[in-house]
Amino acid sequence: MMNQAPARALISRRAFEQNIDVLRQHTDAKLMAIVKANGYGHGVELIAQWAWEAGIDWLGLAQLNEALALRQTHTHGHILAWIYAPGANFQRAIEQNIDLSVGSQWAIDEISAAARASGRAARIHIKVDTGMTRGGFDLGDLPDVFEQVKALARDGIVEVVGLWSHLSCADDRNGDAVTDQQVARFEQARAYARQAGVDIELCHLAASAGILWHRKTHYDMVRPGIVLYGLSPNPARASGHDLGLEALMTLEADVILTRDVPPGVGVSYGHTFVTDHHTRLAVVPVGYADGILRHASDKLSVTANDQQAPIRGVVCMDQFVIEAPQAQAGDTIVLFGPANNGYLTADDWAQKTDTINYEIFCHLGPRIARIPVE
């Protein structure tokens, strides 16, 4: 018999398909499913496979190393990677048919050298900074960049597949002026490409917030991340549920031990919680090493026997304690899941721990089993 993991993230395929349907109602552009950071903690192989089966033939991963790892099993479809450092194995990337973002002169130089060495054209997406002030060429550098890549393309060293950028304030109700300016700069970047005679197959700018709230940012392809997983990029503006999305993940764990205690008992490191009545405590076998933030200590609750059972004392590395009068060893408790099931949501966890839903998912560690359901 298989040894069941004590903590499990159940990942719903039905919810995934529902979210893809919602996305397709928002845009006619091609979809690039963003599956970086282990598919936002959901399991990259699983999500990549489901995306492929839903007809999505573009995947985006941040690090080149993540892209190369996924390529071992995901041999079909396009994969774009945009994070790597000087000295990265670009030859392997080219040979493994990974599309590369290019946003600096050193990257052009190293990638074209690798393409020459491998005898194959590197597929590149030119990255322009339109206002995020992070990665990508300055707009003013683009005329020169396009002249360079045009010459490289003529020699079969590169194939210019895309021109792209990233929005900084698309989720913000008061961010429209910034988004408009970013779109104007992106338009200027496209104009430079046209003037240089560089043909761009795919212009792409929008992530989840652009998809939901700025249609003019859609261009040829969009790059949904958080919405694929059923959460809103800004729950204060519209919750996932308002948007018709459903969270894929239900995070559950088994109670491993209960203990009945009198009043006056201190719980966990530092005794930040002391019981004030006779009660039952239960031990849950996940902790901050699994991504259950220490900030959740004494603040959040889990669902045990259809009731909210508060976390008592500090969250430890591998376990935490709840107060759950009806709990028994072997009971399954739920930390968070889809809205409207009586569970707290990842948004609730984010709010109570001063972070965003993205971070709640990305922290989830490798000891949590990812289990596809439906």
Q: Catalog residues that contact ligand PLP under the rule CB under 6 A.
A: 34, 36, 62, 166, 207-208, 223-226, 233
Closer to ligand PLP by Cβ: residue 32 or 293:
32
Look-up of token digits 């700025």: 214
Return the closest-CA partner of residue 277 out of 333, 314, 323.
323
Distance of CA 14 to the CA centre of its chain: 19
Q: Which of 36, 40, 219, 229 is catalytic?
A: 36
How far is it, in rounded angstroms, from Cα 238 to Cα 218?
A: 20
Phi, psi dihedral angles at 67 (to 5 degrees): -65, -45
Q: In this complex, which beta carbon is closest to ligand PLP, that of residue 320 or of residue 349?
A: 349
Which tokens go with 57?
Answer: 């033939």
Shorter beta-carbon distance to ligand PLP: residue 7 or 209: 209
Minimum CB–partner distance for residue 190 and ligand PLP (Å): 18
Residue 117 makes CB contacts below 8 A (sequence gap 6+) with 91
Q: Is 134 annotated as a binding residue?
A: yes
- Tell me the closest approach of the beta carbon of residue 276 to ligand PLP, in angstroms: 43
Give the Cβ contact number of residue 305 at 10 Å: 14
Whichever of 166 and 370 has its CB closer to ligand PLP, that residue is: 166
With CB atoms as reference, the residue minimizing the distance to ligand PLP is 225
Least separation in angstroms between CB 223 and ligand PLP: 4
E-only strand ranges, the chain: 7-12, 30-34, 58-63, 78-83, 98-102, 122-127, 158-164, 202-204, 221-222, 249-254, 257-261, 266-267, 273-274, 279-284, 301-304, 307-312, 320-323, 332-336, 369-373
Q: Is 86 exposed, middle or buried (0-12, 13-18, 19+ CB in 10 A)?
A: exposed
> Is 36 among the catalytic positions?
yes
- The helix (run of H) or strand (run of E) holding residue 219 is none
Check the annotation: does 221 bind a ligand.
Answer: no
Rounded to a whole number of angstroms, the minimum distance from the CB of residue 350 to ligand PLP is 14
**CA nearest to 313, candidates 279, 354, 359, 348:** 279
How large is the greatest C-alpha to C-alpha distance in the chain, in angstroms?
Answer: 79
Tell me whether residue 217 or residue 303 sits nearer to ligand PLP (CB atom): 217
Min dist CB 66 to ligand PLP, Å, is 12
Q: State the catalytic residue, choosing from 229, 269, 343, 358.
A: 269
Task: Phi first, then psi: give them for residue 26, nearest 5 degrees.
Answer: -90, -20
Nearer to ligand PLP, 230 or 291 (CB): 230
Burial 197-225 (b: 16+ CB within 10 A, else e): ebebebbbbbbbbbbbbbeebbbbbbbbb
What amino acid positions are annotated as catalytic residues? 36, 269
Annotated binding site: 134, 317
Annotated binding site for substrate: 134, 317
